[in-house]
Chain A
Amino acid sequence: MPTETHPDQQYITALCSGNEVLIREIYAKYARSVQIWVTQNNGEVADAQDLFQDALMAVYDRYCGREFVLTSSLGALLLSICRRKWFDRLAQKTREEGVRKWEENRYNEEDSEWEAAEASILQQKRQECLSQVFLLLSEQCQKMLTMVAAGAHSVEQIAAELGFANANALYQSKHRCTARWRQLFNEHFKEN
């Protein structure tokens, strides 16, 4: 297995920072192959566009904000994620046929890419679920957790801004909010 950093790592860095010039390069290089594959597998161009951006979000969720080394092509990873997602959608529509194709596809993929695709999709599901249940927290909880994580202000400043007596009271409340958020995630998250 190769261990050197792949030149496509720059694209993931660009995706993480929202660098439009390089994100356009990702589309220019890899969108066409996804479009061809999807339209050859009972999909429309609009499906391909939707899948591609969904796959980019999965890559974002898997890699951005974490330390990582990309050792294979981003294009291969994106295509792998799109295939997996497309077969999942087919499986929802026509369960039997979709599953059969999914299984065929499963054994044609290189294991490392397939695993990376699976990990990306799982991470995307976790982040989506965290996002959904975060909105179930009180506004005060949402604001406090966001402000503390942003790190732009001291804990004392945040405590004063949100009306807490002191930093300790803020921490106590933060732990209660975090615990509730975790509980909501565990209640709502489904891996498959």
Chain B
Amino acid sequence: MLHTVNKSPFDHNTLETCLKYAKPGSAVLLIEDGVYAVAKGTAVSKQLQDALKTVPIYALKPDVEARGMQNRVLDGVKLVDYGGFVDLVAEHNTVQSWL
């Protein structure tokens, strides 16, 4: 399944819960304020790097760019556009939006 997270990890526990639920075979897509989690050198970077060992993590490029995070993205996080978001939804059986 595909998990989406749209909250900043510094303000909500949404990412933490999502990563707890993201099993091998699923994928995580960060959108909206959720993309702040992709930056290098933050308090959640390690959490994200650990998660990357078991699930692929994507971030929505238009949201990353809008927030000026495009040059700080952690290695291993893949950026997708809206078309890529659509592809991820199509590739996975269900979508859980962690709102």
Decide whether A and B assemble into one complex: no
* Chain A contacts to B: CB under 8 angstroms: none
